Amino acid sequence: MAKSDTAQATASANDSKLKALQTTIEKLDKAFGKGTVMRLSESKVVDIPVISTGSLGLDLALGIGGMPRGRVVEIYGPESSGKTTLTMHCIAEAQKAGGLAAFIDAEHAFDRVYAEKLGIDTKNLLISQPDNGEQALEIAEHLISSGAIDIIVIDSVAALVPKAEIEGEMGESKMGLQARLMSQALRKLTGTINKTGCCCIFINQLREKIGVMFGNPETTTGGNALKFYASVRLDIRRIGQIKEGADNVVGNRTKVKVVKNKLAAPFKVVEFDIMYGQGISKVGEILDLAVEMEIVKKSGSWFSYGTSRLAQGRDAVKELLLDNPELMGEIEGKIRAKIATDEDALLDPVLAATAEDDEGEIDD
């Protein structure tokens, strides 16, 4: 009898708690809008909307098909490694999908001709060349808050110079100003970015820490805030040159490592070609993925597809595919079909370079 009374008392207390909770949720919905607080079982789990990077291999390595919308992304690497080129491809892909893009050019180095070669509609690209870091981030905040921008690129964090530093004398120490500026800006921007579904990409540069005897001395500029707020961090490096003949360099072999990914498995590595004046080589990526997935067979230096031999040497096959867009489209279709039916098919291509790249990543 006593047990029954205790059970009834517990049930009554639980009912009172649930009623009080429901009343509180209704008040919060009224004050801040419907869905302010909800049970996890009630919130719909949807696929994360993305913007393609322009690189099939990198889209696969990211695990979600591209750059996530409503999140902060950081791309960093040494000079001339392809950071701006990669973001320009993202802008071009967003525009192809009917989106609006903005470019905050804090470095004052935007190349309109190159942007057009990569497929950017410069007539509809919003660009700003701010005078200082505060102005740049204020402009970014207003553009993101409008809800009309699908992707915004800030090039670069290192060039977001605080107003106090610009107005000060040359050589005057202003320690911590930029880190404080970035920390404050990201606290304000993150919620707005998420609500509006804008993809916000920060390009960052590398510096070396003084006095590091062991481990990697490299670090990114602007303090640690961006490392924490970024959902995706990409480390991009130039690993080789692409030559025509003995001395004519026509592009770079580039490696990208996903050093942080809150949306899928991190630490995947992908390699692709960046050709001068053309950007990321789509045909080179298709060929590499097709070989990894054994859609195109490689025997020595010869490549074959089905029963026919294509050509001898990677560059010769690339030229052949460029001259035969139907064949290239057929091979790309088989790659996408294989990925759609077997997700494990993409593991080998995007992890091909991971083994030799385990040391030296920047700590998050």
128 is in an annotated binding site: no
83 is in an annotated binding site: yes
d(CA 308, CA 325): 17
81 is in an annotated binding site: yes
147 is in an annotated binding site: no
84 is in an annotated binding site: yes
98 is in an annotated binding site: no
Residues in the annotated binding site: 77-84
Residues in the annotated binding site for ATP: 77-84
